[in-house]
Amino acid sequence: MPTAYVLINSEIGSEEAVLLELRKIKNVVESYVVYGVYDIIAKVEAETMEKLKECITWNIRRLEKVRSTLTMIVIEPGT
């Protein structure tokens, strides 16, 4: 199953609001507020790579208070 980790920068003070919106998205299986360069990390899974990309592009990146993202797609060993 295609999987990605998305590191998210949100507007200052809106981390919890973004986290609540992320948890409403079907393909987001885990999400947490973190300390460091990024504000939130989300684990995203989908049936196909195309659906994974659509979820990140059209659902996560377009949330109102998301300022930027960095997506890391998981590579399975031997593929």
Q: Given this model, what pLDDT does residue 79 score?
A: 54
Burial 41-71 (b: 16+ CB within 10 A, else e): bbebbbeeeeebbebbeebbeebebbeebeb
Mean pLDDT over 3-26 rounds to 97
Would you give the distance in Å from CA 16 to the centre of its chain? Answer: 14
Is pLDDT of 20 > 70?
A: yes
The number of angstroms, rounded, from the C-alpha of 62 to the middle of its chain's C-alpha atoms is 11
Position 76 scores a pLDDT of 80
What's the pLDDT score for residue 48?
96
Q: Write out pLDDT tens, residues 27-79.
A: 999 999 999 999 999 999 999 999 999 999 999 999 999 999 999 999 986 55
In angstroms, how far is CA 79 from the centroid of its own chain? 23
DSSP state of 69: E
